[in-house]
Amino acid sequence: MFYEKGETMNHFETRWKSDDGLEIFAEGWTPDNSGPRAVICLVHGIGEHIHRYLHVAEAFTREGFSLFGADLRGHGRSEGPKGHFPSIEVVLRDIDLLLAEALKRFPGVPLFLYGHSLGGILVLNYGLKVNPRVRGVISTSPPLHTSLEEQKVKVLAAKAFGSLIPSFTIPNGIDVSALSHDPEVAKLYTRDPLVHNRLSFGFGKIMLGVSKWTLDHSSEFPLPLLLLHGKSDTISYSSSSVEFAAALKNNCKVVIWENGYHELHNETFREEVFKVMTDWIGNHL
């Protein structure tokens, strides 16, 4: 199901160098018999990789859209220390390069930016700081508020050791049973050789600051935004997505699934989630 090759789309792979010389792996999927109506550029979550979204690509290509994404540095088949970011500026520049590659490969085709979990907060932060030339942004399950904030010792450790030993990694603590109600998702996640569970102290310190800054500046978000979250998500809290959306009034659509866990695109009701996304994209072309 999730990792099997689709029959209604074409697949491609590519690589490029980051500004600091890391090789970044990327892949994409396009509709089988026509040029795409839009290209959705994807930023994935912590510890995972772009190929986990193959079934999402199938849903998008059925509607005439392409899905294109890169493995984040330190993830999947891209180079870099596992689970470590040297700075938020470097990661935002990586997203610059993803969009630039999409523009080269699909000239004249409308772009959208889509991020899940870690990627969800990165695309919000990127939209605020860069205001890129995209038709809109989709953010699913962004960790603007998480249970980590209630664990004061871990927060203090991230702030202290993030400066002293920033590249030192620890387990990221993700509860795989909280990803989806579909038990197959957790099985595939734990067996996937490209998934890792590492998180550096430097990464933790950076993302604590990014979460706060992003939420504090939510009213300034300049682009059409679709925010999706599960109310039963224990990895990141849906209340913070509601808070972010409330500051934007008419510029944001927020959808909360009462029984949704963290990976809505892998939930038992995933087809409903895909329809919300593809309808929203179509309405912004």
Q: Ranked by mean pLDDT, which of 5-9, 84-88, 159-163 comes out on top?
A: 84-88
- Give me the CATH number covering residue 27: 3.40.50.1820
Residue 26 forms part of a structural domain = yes
Q: What is the pLDDT of residues 220-271, one digit of tens each?
A: 999 999 999 999 999 999 999 999 999 997 889 999 999 999 999 999 999 9
Average pLDDT estimate for 145-165: 75
Would you say residue 3 lies in a domain? Answer: no
Give the lowest-confidence range in 6-15, 69-78, 137-146: 6-15
pLDDT confidence bin for 152, thresholds 50/70/90:
low
> Domain range spanning residue 150?
9-283
Any domain includes 2: no
Q: Answer whether residue 109 is part of any domain.
A: yes
Domain count for the chain = 1
Tell me the average pLDDT across 128-142: 97
Residue 7, pLDDT above cutoff 60: no
Selected residue with higher pLDDT from 1 and 285: 285
Residue 216 has pLDDT above 50, yes or no: yes
With H, G, I as helix, E, B as strand and everything else as coil, classify residue 275.
helix
Within-domain flag for 267? yes
In the prediction, which pLDDT does 267 show?
98
